[in-house]
A and B are shown apart, each in its own frame.
Chain A
Amino acid sequence: METEKQNDTEKGAESVAGASEEQPDRADKPKRPPMTMTQKILAARASLDHVKPGQFIEANLDVVLANDITGPVAIREFEKMGKKRVFDRTKIVLVPDHFTPNKDIKAAEQAKELRDFAKEQKIVHYFEVGAMGIEHALLPEKGLTVAGDVIIGADSHTCTYGALGAFATGVGSTDMAAGMATGKAWFKVPAAIRFELTGQLGKWVSGKDVILHIIGMIGVDGALYKSMEFMGPGLENLPMDDRFTMANMAIEAGAKNGIFAVDERTRAYMRSHRSKTMEKQAHTYAADADAEYEETFVVDLAEIKPTVSFPHLPDNTKTIDQVGDVAIDQAVIGSCTNGRLDDMVIAAKILKGRRVADGVRCIIIPGTQQVYLDCVKLGYAETFIKAGAVFSTPTCGPCLGGHMGILAAGERAVSTTNRNFVGRMGHVDSEVCLASPAVAAASAVAGKLADPEAVFKSKKRPIRIGKDISKKNKGDRNGKSV
């Protein structure tokens, strides 16, 4: 989509991106201590000259987000706080995406609670089913998150917006309620780890493989309480959708936030995704050259191989050449981690003219209505359906074992989602292997964990269902497809 909309005129873009570059300090000003990107954003939004790790601050919030699971709890806490109105009805974003379209009566009650609150408070950015997408795919697409923002969301994957150079972090419902009431939140300023990216990703390798590799390297608590800051020459060739995927999974290394240095790709993305309904002003902050990082890792993108996280932790990683024979029952392609257009492009490339292995369910869930529509327009929807996959409306659904693809005891899924904890996608005795869209699609075809290149090179198999409806149907009058 990024490329599709890049023709937008530069006029007007200024109000979103590039207008507020960080100004160098005047020569006569005493030098303040060096700061990381995250620390600079927090200092600015707390109206402080500088902050240091461990310091408790209160920052102004640009976006306060909740979904149909955490929202109702936050609403009840908000009501206890004795406030009649939210601090700013344009800055609250409510997205019923987890158990929607309502999976059962209780889920329907929760979604209704969110809807009623949105109506009562005249919340501008409430996204009803039909407009709704998976929150962390939706907000950047709608231009509701920009560089320099401070964003809290009652969802742990709120850290996704760090891809745009924002400070974004997951919180609980009570923090969300306080954010709605006051427009502020308290933070302990985090220390940071730097990831210096070099080189360029190889064929079939994406941001998902990079972040799984990194989590495998530092562990599920490797960045606990800290920022993960991504920068370096490797960014030049790293598309935005890969960055969203990487920032999204910072929480799986325990991080408070993940954040990317802002570059021309970021600015282009913000120019082509502008909000008309929320006033936004991007601010870009670069880390000081002498900023303090507890550790620095140099990651050569060219050396990353397709990577799979085995049960039951995201840091239990193996590269695809090490996985051996691992049969799968289900492949899920979607989620806030991998439900963007680039993910659909890769899945379609592999599934085109091939078919999902017998006995395997392949479930493809675009992240937003826009991604869904793009898939229809670009012919991917047809590719998926002809391959024998399910192509669904946006929902978090199976990722957290909600609906739309729950696993039975003893079953195993390969999934582009973000967690493979015990019982995450269904029965406590089921398993989830995390992987990229390329690996998930290839595995769906092979019926076992598979190298995308091997599957792509393999002979195409005849399609499973579907007829060309433009031709006269001479055959089966019962309409049975072959």
Chain B
Amino acid sequence: MGKAYKYGENVNTDVIIPARYLNIADPEELAAHAMEDIDKGFAKTVRQGDIIVAGKNFGSGSSREHAPLVLKTIGVKAVVAPTFARIFYRNAFNIGLPILESQEASEKIDAGDEISVDFKSGRIRNKTKKESYQAEPFPEFMTALIENGGLVNYVKRSGGRTDGKTKEQEL
């Protein structure tokens, strides 16, 4: 259970983590600047388990993996939006930040609502409003990636494949 932070459409990676901080290598230090160009209070008030709810095309712009990484590092449990920019989408899965696509949840959840998310079923529950919303199910491929703990572990376990199939599965 966590509190919702609400943002608009096209939240881009330059505001999630501005480029002027990209010379910082330490994720904790970097995370202190998360979202500061659109929400100065975010990094100070966000708690472990909170979620971000936003409009369409979340994570547009740069390929910087620092963007999902700072959100994960600072404690964001999931990001909910109608759509995600594709590089952010890949990066989030690769590093293990859960993201959920739901138009309804994006519209109905207000800032401060108490939200819980079941990733397996894609069910998003709004305790404050006593509502629940269904997110798009993850493709099977993505589920496997999450279950294996991200792409790094995948490559390690599958002997040099990037598509999540083990040698046996291919046969």
Which residues of chain B are within 8 angstroms of A428 by Cβ–Cβ distance?
Answer: 37
CB contact between B85 and one of A99, A177, A186, A221 (< 8 Å): that residue: A221
Alpha-carbon distance between A313 and B64 when the two chains are bound, in angstroms: 18
Which residues of chain A are within 8 angstroms of B19 by Cβ–Cβ distance?
Answer: 69, 400-402, 424
CB contact between A421 and one of B15, B139, B162 (< 8 Å): that residue: B15
CB contact between A178 and one of B10, B60, B162 (< 8 Å): that residue: B162
B22 at the interface (CB under 8 A from A): yes
User: Shortest Cβ distance from B85 into chain A, in angstroms?
Assistant: 6
Q: Select the stretch in B43-51, B90-98, B106-114 that faces chain A.
A: B90-98
CB contact between A182 and one of B15, B65, B91, B155 (< 8 Å): that residue: B155
Query: A220 near B57 (CB under 8 angstroms)?
Result: yes
Which residues of chain B are within 8 angstroms of A422 by Cβ–Cβ distance?
Answer: 14-15, 37-38
B156 at the interface (CB under 8 A from A): yes
Alpha-carbon distance between A401 and B154 when the two chains are bound, in angstroms: 35
User: Shortest Cβ distance from B46 into chain A, in angstroms?
Assistant: 19
Q: Give the A interface residue count (CB, 8 A).
A: 57
Query: B155 near A81 (CB under 8 angstroms)?
Result: yes
Alpha-carbon distance between A98 and B62 when the two chains are bound, in angstroms: 13
B20 at the interface (CB under 8 A from A): yes
Q: Which residue of A lies closest to B95 (CB)?
A: A174
A175 at the interface (CB under 8 A from B): yes
Alpha-carbon distance between A103 and B19 when the two chains are bound, in angstroms: 13
A405 at the interface (CB under 8 A from B): no
A31 at the interface (CB under 8 A from B): no
User: Shortest Cβ distance from B28 into chain A, in angstroms?
Assistant: 15
Within 8 A of A (CB), among B51-69: 56-57, 60-66, 68
A106 at the interface (CB under 8 A from B): yes
Query: B152 near A401 (CB under 8 angstroms)?
Result: no
Q: Which residue of A lies closest to B158 (CB)?
A: A182
Q: Give the B interface residue count (CB, 8 A).
A: 45
A423 at the interface (CB under 8 A from B): yes
Question: 1/0 contact trace for A167-201 toward B, CB 8 Å?
Answer: 00011111101110110111010000000000000
Q: Select the stretch in A32-40, A70-78, A290-298, A356-364 that faces chain B.
A: A70-78
User: Shortest Cβ distance from B15 into chain A, in angstroms?
Assistant: 6
Query: A70 near B161 (CB under 8 angstroms)?
Result: no
User: Shortest Cβ distance from A172 into chain B, in angstroms?
Assistant: 4
User: Shortest Cβ distance from B84 into chain A, in angstroms?
Assistant: 9
Question: 1/0 contact trace for B125-168 toward A, CB 8 Å?
Answer: 00000000000000101000000001110111000111111000
Alpha-carbon distance between A56 and B165 when the two chains are bound, in angstroms: 11
Query: A154 near B10 (CB under 8 angstroms)?
Result: no
Which residues of chain B are within 8 angstroms of A324 by Cβ–Cβ distance?
Answer: none
Query: B65 near A73 (CB under 8 angstroms)?
Result: yes
Query: A186 near B164 (CB under 8 angstroms)?
Result: yes
Query: A155 near B14 (CB under 8 angstroms)?
Result: no
Alpha-carbon distance between A179 and B152 when the two chains are bound, in angstroms: 11
Which residues of chain B are within 8 angstroms of A106 by Cβ–Cβ distance?
Answer: 23-25
A462 at the interface (CB under 8 A from B): no
Which residues of chain A are within 8 angstroms of B152 by Cβ–Cβ distance?
Answer: 77, 80-81, 174, 177-178
Alpha-carbon distance between A124 and B47 when the two chains are bound, in angstroms: 46
Question: 1/0 contact trace for B3-30 toward A, CB 8 Å?
Answer: 0000000101011001110111100000
Q: Which residue of B lies closest to A315 (CB)?
A: B10
Alpha-carbon distance between A401 and B91 when the two chains are bound, in angstroms: 23
A299 at the interface (CB under 8 A from B): no
A254 at the interface (CB under 8 A from B): yes
Within 8 A of B (CB), among A145-165: 153-156, 158
Question: Which of B12, B24, B95 has the largest count of A CB atoms less than 10 A from its CB?
Answer: B12
User: Shortest Cβ distance from A171 into chain B, in angstroms?
Assistant: 6
A374 at the interface (CB under 8 A from B): no
User: Shortest Cβ distance from B21 into chain A, in angstroms?
Assistant: 10
Query: B15 near A423 (CB under 8 angstroms)?
Result: yes
Which residues of chain A are within 8 angstroms of B155 by Cβ–Cβ distance?
Answer: 81, 83, 178, 181-182
Query: B18 near A256 (CB under 8 angstroms)?
Result: no
Which residues of chain A are within 8 angstroms of B20 by Cβ–Cβ distance?
Answer: 401-402
B83 at the interface (CB under 8 A from A): yes
Query: A185 near B156 (CB under 8 angstroms)?
Result: no
Give me the interface of A with B, judged by CB distance under 8 Å: 56-58, 69-70, 72-73, 77, 80-83, 98-99, 103-104, 106-107, 109-110, 153-156, 158, 170-175, 177-179, 181-182, 184-186, 188, 220-221, 224-225, 251, 254, 256, 313, 400-402, 419, 421-424, 428
Q: Which 3 A-B pairs have the closest CB atoms?
A: A172-B91, A106-B23, A172-B65
Give me the interface of B with A, judged by CB distance under 8 Å: 10, 12, 14-15, 18-20, 22-25, 37-38, 56-57, 60-66, 68, 83, 85-87, 90-91, 94-95, 139, 141, 150-152, 154-156, 160-165
**Known pairs A182-B160, A221-B60 / 4 extra A-B pairs, C-beta < 8 Å:** A174-B95, A175-B91, A188-B139, A254-B60
